[in-house]
Amino acid sequence: MPKPALLAITPDNVDEFGIHCVADRKHPGRALKIAWFKQEYANGLRIALLVDENGKSIGFIEYAPGEHAWRAVEAPTYLVIHCLWVKAAGSGLGSRLIAYVVAEAKSQGRDGVAVVASSGTWCTDSRIYEKTGFEIVETWGETFMLCVKPVVSGAASPTFADCPAPPSTGRLEFRYSGQCPYVARCVDELPAEASARGVDLEVTEIATAAEARASPTPYGVTSLALGEKVLVDHAISRTRFRNILRQEGLP
């Protein structure tokens, strides 16, 4: 069986080959993600796909220079992996994609590679990274782990950013960015649900990597907060949002 080919996605071919995580061309998040990718490509953001003999994507990895990473980490001399997904666990495809980024770090003269892993959803589990030589250097709460693989001896290790609490306005705020295509429906559904219930919901787009690194959770690109309390750190459904409102005693 032919070895899957590795394909570098660029602004010139992304419309043809897509971004892997959303294959449906009619999905509202696909256009959002592609526009975000084209914007951030100039800042060093990269996506690499693994494609089978039929040209079908079976895995991908997304990464950026630490100084332009959309995760709440301080890693200016590292490459930071945003996302990793493969169709078949245990196939070695994930390890191959990680090795590709490690090689990129070496070729760019970086100190290594860092990634925010999670025991929950929306981030890859730390085990795949530990298996490929990464170490957990810091944890945040019960959910997030910062995994690091230096390629330069004695290099300073990345850290989580401060992750400041949201402003104590007492308001309900949903923050999102184009980095995660699954938030596209949230941007439509959550305000509609809030309006139907008479709840004041402020929706804020995270427009820059610096803003993402100043987010209240390490995931960086999505959060729902009530005043200083972070309720959710990833995209959610309208039903989940409705349940959260009830739990918080909102109408």
Query: What would the 3-class secondary structure string for 76-97 be?
Result: CCEEEEEEEEECCCCCCHHHHH
- Indicate if the pLDDT at residue 82 is higher than 90: yes
Euclidean distance between CA atoms 17 and 34, whole angstroms: 11
Query: Between 36 and 89, where is the model more confident?
Result: 36
Query: Between 163 and 177, where is the model more confident?
Result: 177
Residue 22 lies in a domain: yes
CA-closest candidate to residue 153, choices 99, 111, 102, 107: 111
Type of residue found at 117: A
Residues 182 and 205 in one domain: yes
Query: Between 165 and 11, where is the model more confident?
Result: 11
First to last CA, the chain: 57
Euclidean distance between CA atoms 28 and 15, whole angstroms: 14
Residues 151 and 224 in one domain: no
Residues 32 and 119 in one domain: yes
Of 160, 189, 216, at which residue does a domain stop? 160
Residue 167 lies in a domain: no
| Domain region containing 100 | 5-160
Residues 150 and 185 in one domain: no
Euclidean distance between CA atoms 142 and 103, whole angstroms: 31
pLDDT tens digit sequence for 34-54:
999 999 999 999 999 999 888
- Indicate if the pLDDT at residue 172 is higher than 70: yes
CA distances from 28 to 25, 41, 187 (A): 8, 21, 10
* Greatest C-alpha distance within the chain: 58
Euclidean distance between CA atoms 33 and 30, whole angstroms: 5
Of 160, 186, 217, at which residue does a domain stop? 160
Place of tokens 């994609």: 97
Give the pLDDT confidence score for residue 166 in this predicted structure: 75
pLDDT tens digit sequence for 111-158:
999 999 998 777 889 999 999 999 999 999 888 999 999 999 999 999
Domain at 93, CATH number: 3.40.630.30
Torsion of CA 83, 178, 191, 239, to 10 degrees: -20
Residue 182 lies in a domain: yes
Q: What angle do CA 224, 226, 229 make, to 5 degrees?
A: 90
Give the pLDDT confidence score for residue 90 in this predicted structure: 65
Domain at 223, CATH number: 3.40.30
- Mean pLDDT value across the chain: 92
Tally of structural domains, the chain: 2
Global pTM? 0.94
Reduced to 3 states (helix: H, G, I; strand: E, B; else coil), residue 13 is coil
Of 160, 191, 226, at which residue does a domain stop? 160
Give the pLDDT confidence score for residue 225 in this predicted structure: 94
Euclidean distance between CA atoms 102 and 144, whole angstroms: 21
Encoding tokens for residue 9? 């996605």
Residue 14 lies in a domain: yes
